[in-house]
């Protein structure tokens, strides 16, 4: 999801949203190369003005901090250097700490007339209500699978079979597909997690509690890794649901159809929906700052039972 502060889309002089960038002019090239002086990206691990920690990329920061927002407040008051507007992109907006989000509210509510603010997030529910209420919601759909596959082959030189697989696994995320093409570790990590899911569903409660404890402990160090893991769980149960509903051709894990069919027969549509509800609850509990381990234990206990198994 992307967001613009209320009223910004109606400002006189803003480019027509129906006119796509050409990708070839000097401004487009400089933006693509992250060199345009009037386009500012506020992200995790960025720079700030405080001398004792100028670049949070060096301290493995996983948040957008208040000192970064203070630097942004200074920048937005500067006159645009080349263009008519200064554009600020906050990505991911849900990475702002509570202090940073509160400090950002004034700028978000009354930005200077020459500034356009864009907040990007894949987890709208993680944004504070005070931030969401000051934004206009704009939903961006994923890129069609066929377009991702064609782009991987034509622009990035991918093998056709690999391109088709990455396009299927990407779920509309061209950026992920390109990253996985360029770094084979991403695909290997995904395979490892999916293998864990299969093993846990075949195992007992001891394995599930051990897994919850390990993943819960990791949440404090690497929260996004845990969120990505839960997203893979969600994708897996979505595939089970599709298989149970007779739509297995839409499954993401097309290489594991035999396993999906087996689990669809064991759990059915009702069981898959039960699992998806458990995952939704776990994600909400984590965002509400519940104990990560307890939230994950509850999720694993709420997963459906195989036929014939007893607690």
Residues 23-54 pLDDT 10s = 888 888 888 888 899 999 998 877 787 766 66
CATH for 2-138 is 3.40.50.300
Q: How far apart are CA 66 and CA 68, in angstroms?
A: 5
Residue identified by tokens 């907040």 is 119
Residue 247 has a pLDDT of 94
Residue 4 has a pLDDT of 53
Residue 14 pLDDT > 70: no
For 144, the token pair is: 């069609």
- Going by pLDDT thresholds of 50, 70 and 90, the confidence category of residue 238 is very high
Residue 53 has a pLDDT of 62
**246-286 pLDDT per residue, tens:** 999 999 998 899 999 999 999 999 999 999 999 999 998 98
Residue 141 pLDDT > 60: yes
The continuous run of DSSP H or E covering 73 comes out as helix 66-76
Mean pLDDT to the nearest integer, 92-117: 90
Q: What are the residues whose beta carbons fall under 8 Å from the beta carbon of 290, sequence distance 6 or more?
A: none
Q: What is the mean pLDDT of the chain?
A: 86
Q: How far apart are CA 69 and CA 215, in angstroms?
A: 31
* Lateral strand order in the sheet of 2-5: 39-42, 86-90, 115-120, 2-5, 135-138
Output DSSP code: residue 87. E
Residue 18 has a pLDDT of 57
Residue 116 has a pLDDT of 92
The continuous run of DSSP H or E covering 153 comes out as helix 145-154
**261 C-beta neighbours (distance < 10 Å), count:** 15
**183-208 pLDDT per residue, tens:** 999 999 999 999 999 999 888 889 99
- 8, 111 in Cβ contact below 8 A? yes
Closest by CA position to 303, among listed 212, 193, 171: 212
**68 C-beta neighbours (distance < 10 Å), count:** 26
Q: At what angle do helices 292-302 and 205-219 cross, to 10 degrees?
A: 150
- Going by pLDDT thresholds of 50, 70 and 90, the confidence category of residue 305 is confident
């Amino acid at each position: 999801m992307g967001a613009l502060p209320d009223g910004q889309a109606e400002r006189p002089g803003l480019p027509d949203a129906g006119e796509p960038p050409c990708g070839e002019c000097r401004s487009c090239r400089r933006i693509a190369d992250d060199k345009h002086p009037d386009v500012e990206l506020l992200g995790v691990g960025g720079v700030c003005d405080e001398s004792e920690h100028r670049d949070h990329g060096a301290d493995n920061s996983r948040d957008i901090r208040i000192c970064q927002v203070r630097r942004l407040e200074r920048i937005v008051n500067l006159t645009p250097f080349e263009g008519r507007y200064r554009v600020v992109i906050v990505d991911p907006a849900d990475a702002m700490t509570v202090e940073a989000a509160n400090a950002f509210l004034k700028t978000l509510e009354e930005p200077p007339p020459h500034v356009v603010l864009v907040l990007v997030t894949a987890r709208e529910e993680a944004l504070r209500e005070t931030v969401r209420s000051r934004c206009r919601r704009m939903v961006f759909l994923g890129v069609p699978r066929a377009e991702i596959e064609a782009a991987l082959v034509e622009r990035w030189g991918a093998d056709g079979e690999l391109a088709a697989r990455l396009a299927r696994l990407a779920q509309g995320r061209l950026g992920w597909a390109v990253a996985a093409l360029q770094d084979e570790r991403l695909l290997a990590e995904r395979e490892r997690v999916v293998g864990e899911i299969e093993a846990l569903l075949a195992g007992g409660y001891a394995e599930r509690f051990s897994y919850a404890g390990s993943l819960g402990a990791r949440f404090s160090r690497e929260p996004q890794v845990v969120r990505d893991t839960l997203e893979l769980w969600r994708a897996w149960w979505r595939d089970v649901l599709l298989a149970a509903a007779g739509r297995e051709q839409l499954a993401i894990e097309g290489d594991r159809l035999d396993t999906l069919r087996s689990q669809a027969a064991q759990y059915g549509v009702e069981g898959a929906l039960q699992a998806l509800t458990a995952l939704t609850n776990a994600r909400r509990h984590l965002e509400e700052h519940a104990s990560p381990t307890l939230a994950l234990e509850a999720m694993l206990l709420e997963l459906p039972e195989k036929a014939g198994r007893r607690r």
